[in-house]
């Protein structure tokens, strides 16, 4: 069955533009360490590599899978074999790695992409010698092959309905085999892809510049060649307050997210743009596939014996006002997590189907009254990092007032992450940002076979019914039916309470008013191919 067909158009050559000089400028405070897509493990690296590379498929602004280098594909009746039909005229950026005559991407094409490039890219991704952090995405795949130059086939170990979404991550970007055979070039600082922009220059810790690819294969609905921008310029000011001032002065076109240092300067308590900035800037807010939560290790090695009691875990969930917390500590950036673990913005989210927690002090008192028959509620230690100390102190105050003493310990972020991975922190603050837009990516955190340190199940949650539903969901191709399974798992998770959901995050984007065509999406992916900067 044909699942998708391309709505894109192939470009045959460069075009002449009168509106040259459109440069999109943004700052990356966390720096960029590599332009190799196999290492695109955080937002800074994903944003940069997304401009340079393509994979078989991509995502639109609604997080639906759309064609990229594959113009169409079919899935066989077993649900395990995908056959991808490639565009036949897409070229890599011109690069010296292809030999003489292919060195200037502004005027020349590189080599045409063929299916064997995907074979090499997949081989490279799971190479032990490369040791890429993205190798985990290969886990569902059994075999893959180039049937011919324009046909690439993937066989999965078992049906995995979320596979196409997974295939959209930057780790699966195509790169040329010539990089492997060259001793002079590497993708870290000499990238060569097929994306809407090509690499121009990189002054470490100062500026990174990409230029428009005049041979890019996509066109817009009117037939105009993408991208519209002439260049992308990235600076590396580490201080977020200083970067904010650069935006105000007009030296940057875009800012994503808010730092506490300028939160109140830009936004009212209700999350609206301050009036003095309304003429110069545009605020866009969309759900972000990020759930902030507190995790509780619940297995037999639990270090806080009191938290083995499910009723006490539920009392902690009932014991603070998420609505008030969001208003006064987050300027209403995000929504209170009043349903399950799967966040707003993900396909299939329905907060009417999953019963979560609200502020219910009377329920807390009733639970504690039952618990206290067996003794005094002991003090509980919550470990967090400094960025979330204000939220944790807010919860601590409300819990203490209701009779649940909680102590807070602040740890460096790296230390906290390591302790979570090794199950050495029994009560911790964490977040989960989706790798790909499917509820399975969230529910995998509670599948017993994914228990840390071998997987992301940091709470060591184990429930036979949950595991059965999780495995059954992997066999359901129909989205609506699979989402029902997800809702059942999420509801069970809330009942057992190995976590305390805090809020579903939101993406706030501030752009200068002359920037047009920047599509929002719940993965906070920076897609610049349709952006224009008006005079």
* pLDDT of the chain, 535 residues: tens digit per residue: 444 433 344 444 444 343 445 999 999 988 899 999 999 999 999 999 999 999 999 999 888 999 999 999 999 999 999 999 999 999 999 998 888 666 889 999 999 999 999 999 999 999 999 999 999 999 999 999 999 999 999 999 999 999 999 999 999 999 999 988 777 788 999 999 999 999 999 998 899 999 999 999 999 999 999 999 999 999 999 888 888 889 999 999 999 887 777 778 888 877 788 888 888 999 998 899 999 999 999 986 655 678 888 999 999 999 999 999 999 898 888 999 999 999 988 888 888 899 999 999 999 999 999 887 666 677 899 999 998 999 999 999 999 999 999 999 999 998 999 999 888 899 999 999 999 999 999 999 999 999 988 889 999 999 999 999 999 998 888 889 999 999 999 999 999 999 999 999 998 899 999 999 999 889 999 999 999 998 8
Say if strands 151-156 and 81-86 run parallel, antiparallel, or are unpaired. Answer: antiparallel
Q: In what order do the strands lie in the sheet with 151-156?
A: 2-5, 70-75, 81-86, 151-156, 141-148
The pLDDT assigned to 375 comes to 63
Asked if residue 528 and residue 477 are part of one domain, the reply reads: no
Helix then strand then coil, in percent of the chain rounded to 5, is: 30, 25, 45
Asked if residue 366 and residue 228 are part of one domain, the reply reads: no
Asked if residue 498 and residue 400 are part of one domain, the reply reads: yes
Asked if residue 317 and residue 226 are part of one domain, the reply reads: no
Asked if residue 489 and residue 523 are part of one domain, the reply reads: no
DSSP string, 379-406: PEEEEE-GGGHHHHHHHHHHHHHHT--E
Say if strands 515-516 and 499-512 run parallel, antiparallel, or are unpaired. Answer: unpaired
Instruction: Report yes or no on 249 lying in a domain.
Output: no
Assign residue 472 a region (left: φ > 0; alpha: ψ between -120 and 50; beta: otherwise).
alpha
Instruction: Report yes or no on 258 lying in a domain.
Output: no
- The structure tokens listed for 44 are 């800074």
DSSP string, 321-386: -HHHHHHHHHTT-SEE--S-SSPTTSTT--TTTS------HHHHHHHHHHHGGGSPPPPEEEEE-G
Asked if residue 320 and residue 436 are part of one domain, the reply reads: yes
| Short-list 502, 326, 344, 349, CA closest to 431 | 502
Give me the helix-helix angle, 389-402 and 322-330, nearest 10°. Answer: 150
Alpha-carbon distance of 208 to 206, in angstroms, equals: 7
Q: Are 340 and 507 in contact (CB under 8 A)?
A: no
The pLDDT assigned to 8 comes to 43
Sign of CA pseudo-dihedral 119, 48, 56, 532? negative
Name, in order, each residue with C-beta under 8 angstroms of 141's C-beta and a sequence gap of 6 or more: 122, 154, 155, 156, 157
Asked if residue 519 and residue 449 are part of one domain, the reply reads: no
The pLDDT assigned to 154 comes to 98
Which CATH number is 496's domain given?
3.10.105.10
| Short-list 58, 47, 8, CA closest to 172 | 58
Instruction: Report yes or no on 171 lying in a domain.
Output: yes
Asked if residue 518 and residue 478 are part of one domain, the reply reads: no
Q: What are phi and psi of 502, to 5 degrees?
A: -100, -60
| Short-list 388, 385, 427, 430, CA closest to 405 | 427
Name, in order, each residue with C-beta under 8 angstroms of 112's C-beta and a sequence gap of 6 or more: 88, 89, 90, 91, 92
Q: Are 254 and 518 in contact (CB under 8 A)?
A: yes
Alpha-carbon distance of 247 to 124, in angstroms, equals: 39
| Short-list 497, 98, 493, 490, CA closest to 317 | 497
Q: How many domains does the chain have?
A: 2
Asked if residue 292 and residue 225 are part of one domain, the reply reads: no
Domain that holds residue 400: 288-506
Asked if residue 308 and residue 236 are part of one domain, the reply reads: no
The pLDDT assigned to 17 comes to 44
Instruction: Report yes or no on 283 lying in a domain.
Output: no
Assign residue 131 a region (left: φ > 0; alpha: ψ between -120 and 50; beta: otherwise).
left
Q: What are phi and psi of 142, to 5 degrees?
A: -95, -60
pLDDT, tens digit, for every residue of 168-219?
A: 999 999 999 998 877 778 899 999 999 999 999 999 889 999 999 999 999 9
Instruction: Report yes or no on 3 lying in a domain.
Output: no
The pLDDT assigned to 240 comes to 84
Instruction: Report yes or no on 124 lying in a domain.
Output: yes
Asked if residue 496 and residue 443 are part of one domain, the reply reads: yes
Name, in order, each residue with C-beta under 8 angstroms of 282's C-beta and a sequence gap of 6 or more: 510, 511, 512, 513, 515
Alpha-carbon distance of 186 to 285, in angstroms, equals: 38
Which CATH number is 522's domain given?
3.40.190.10
Query: What pTM was estimated for this model as a whole?
Result: 0.86
Instruction: Report yes or no on 470 lying in a domain.
Output: yes
In the three-class reduction of DSSP (H, G, I as helix; E, B as strand; rest coil), residue 69 is classed as coil
Give the residues across from 295 on adjacent strands: 428, 499
Asked if residue 308 and residue 184 are part of one domain, the reply reads: no
| Short-list 273, 269, 261, 262, CA closest to 331 | 269
DSSP string, 30-51: T------GGG--SHHHHHHHHH
Instruction: Report yes or no on 69 lying in a domain.
Output: yes
Alpha-carbon distance of 260 to 386, in angstroms, equals: 12
């Amino acid at each position: 069955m044909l699942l998708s067909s391309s709505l894109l158009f192939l470009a045959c050559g460069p075009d002449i533009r009168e509106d040259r000089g459109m440069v999109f400028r943004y700052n990356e405070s966390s720096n960029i360490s590599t332009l190799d897509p196999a290492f695109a493990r955080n937002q800074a690296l994903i944003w940069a590599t997304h401009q340079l590379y393509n994979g078989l498929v991509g995502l639109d602004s609604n997080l639906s899978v759309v064609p990229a280098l594959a113009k169409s594909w079919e899935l066989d009746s077993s649900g395990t074999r995908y056959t991808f039909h490639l565009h036949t005229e897409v070229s890599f950026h011109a690069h010296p790695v292809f030999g003489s005559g292919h060195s200037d991407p502004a005027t020349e094409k590189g080599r045409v992409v063929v299916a064997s490039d995907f074979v090499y890219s997949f081989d490279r991704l799971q190479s032990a010698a490369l040791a890429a952090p993205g190798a985990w995405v290969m886990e569902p795949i059994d075999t893959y092959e180039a049937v011919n130059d324009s046909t690439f086939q993937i066989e999965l170990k078992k049906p995995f309905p979320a596979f196409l979404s997974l295939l959209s991550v930057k780790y699966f970007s195509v790169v040329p085999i010539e990089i492997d055979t060259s001793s002079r070039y590497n993708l870290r600082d000499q990238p060569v892809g097929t994306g809407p922009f090509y690499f121009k220059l990189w002054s470490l810790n100062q500026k990174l510049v990409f230029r428009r690819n005049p041979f890019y294969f996509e066109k817009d609905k009117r037939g105009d060649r993408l991208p519209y921008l002439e260049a992308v310029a990235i600076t590396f000011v580490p201080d977020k307050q200083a970067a904010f001032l650069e935006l105000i002065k007009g030296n940057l076109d875009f800012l994503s997210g808010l730092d506490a240092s300028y939160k109140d300067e830009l936004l009212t308590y209700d999350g609206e743009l301050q009036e003095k900035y309304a003429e110069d800037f545009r605020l866009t807010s969309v759900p972000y596939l990020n759930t902030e939560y507190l995790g509780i290790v619940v297995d037999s090695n639990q270090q806080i014996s009191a938290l083995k009691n499910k009723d006490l875990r539920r009392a902690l969930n009932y014991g603070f006002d998420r609505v008030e917390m969001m208003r006064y500590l987050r300027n209403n950036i995000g929504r209170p997590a009043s349903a399950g673990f799967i966040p707003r913005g993900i396909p299939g989210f329905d907060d009417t189907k999953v019963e979560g927690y609200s502020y219910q002090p009377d329920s807390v008192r009733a639970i504690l009254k039952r618990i206290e028959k067996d003794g005094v509620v002991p003090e509980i230690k919550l470990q967090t990092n400094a960025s979330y100390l204000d939220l944790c102190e807010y919860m601590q105050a409300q819990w203490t007032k209701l009779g649940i003493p909680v102590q807070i310990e602040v740890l460096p972020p790296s230390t906290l992450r390591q302790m979570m991975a090794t199950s050495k922190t029994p009560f911790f603050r964490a977040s989960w940002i989706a790798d790909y837009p499917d509820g399975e990516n969230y529910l995998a955190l509670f599948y017993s076979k994914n228990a840390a340190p071998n997987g992301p199940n940091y709470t060591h949650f184990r429930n036979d019914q949950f595991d059965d539903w999780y495995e059954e969901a992997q066999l359901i191709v129909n989205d609506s039916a699979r989402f029902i399974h997800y809702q059942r798992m999420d509801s069970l998770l809330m009942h057992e309470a190995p976590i305390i959901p805090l809020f579903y995050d939101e993406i706030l984007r501030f752009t200068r008013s002359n920037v047009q065509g920047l599509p929002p999406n719940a993965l906070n992916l920076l897609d610049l191919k349709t952006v224009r900067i008006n005079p």
